[in-house]
Amino acid sequence: MESHPLLDFPQFSLVPQTPQIIALMTILRDRTTQRSDFVFYSDRLFRILMEEGLAYLPFSKKAIITPTEVPVDGLEFGTKLCGVSIIRAGESMENALRQVLPHVRIGKILIQRKEDGSGTCQHFYTKIPKDISHRNVLLLDPMLATGGSAICAIGELLKNGVLEQNILFLNMVAVPEGVKAVLSAYPKIKIVSVALDEGLNEKKYIVPGIGDFGDRYFGTE
C-alpha cells in the first residue's frame, strides 16, 4: 500500500502487506463472496493477525537443552496473557486466538453504540478473568471505525486494573479516524491491523471496507 502518516506512528502497526494478505482481503471485500468463503478466509487472516500481534508482547530469556544435548539461549512469553472480545463481532476472532494460544483465557465485553448519531457507546456487560490486572490483554474487534466501542472497552479494562500499556488491540480493518481517536484517548496501547482503509463515509461506515463484518461472518445479513 502507499505510504501513510499513521504507519510512522509507533503505537500503530499493519500486518506486512504481502501479495497473500492483499489477495485474502480482496476476497473479503468482494460483495459476491459467499458466507462460507468469507468465514474461511477471515479465519485465515485472523490467524495471521494473531501471530503478528504476539510478536509485540514482552518476552524473557529462557535457556534450554535440545534433544542433541546442545544448550540454546531462547525466549519465552514474559507475561500471562488474556483475550477479551468485544461482543459480537469480536467473538469471531476467538478461535484464531485459541489456535495460537490453546489454553488462553478469554473474557467478553458488551458495548452498544448509541443511535443518536453522537458516536458514543454504552457499556452493558463485562466478564473477565479475576486476575486480569496481572495480564497482558489482547482486545479483539474486527473493525475499527469511529473508535467509540474500543474506547469504551479499554476504559472498562482500566477500571479492572489493566495497565494501559498492557493492552494490544487487534482488528481486521482500521481507518485513520478510529486509530487517531483511540490513541488520543489511550496513547500507551498498541494497535495492530490487517488493513488500513481510506476512512468513513457520511454514515460512519468504513470505505472501501468489507461491509458489516458481524452480519457477513455470522450469516445475519
| Set of cell numbers at residue 147 | 473508535
Q: DSSP assignment, residue 70?
A: -
Angle of helix 19-29 relative to helix 35-54, nearest 10 degrees? 140
157, amino acid identity: L
Q: Note the pLDDT of residue 79.
A: 87
Q: How far apart are CA 158 and CA 50, in angstroms?
A: 22
Domains and CATH numbers, the chain: 5-218 (3.40.50.2020)
Residue 59 and residue 42 in contact, taking contact as beta carbons nearer than 8 Å? no
Write out pLDDT tens, residues 68-79: 999 999 999 888
Amino acid occupying residue 68: T
Give the C-alpha separation, 32 to 193, whole Å.
Answer: 24
Residues 101-152 pLDDT 10s? 999 999 999 998 766 655 567 889 999 999 999 999 999 999 999 999 999 9
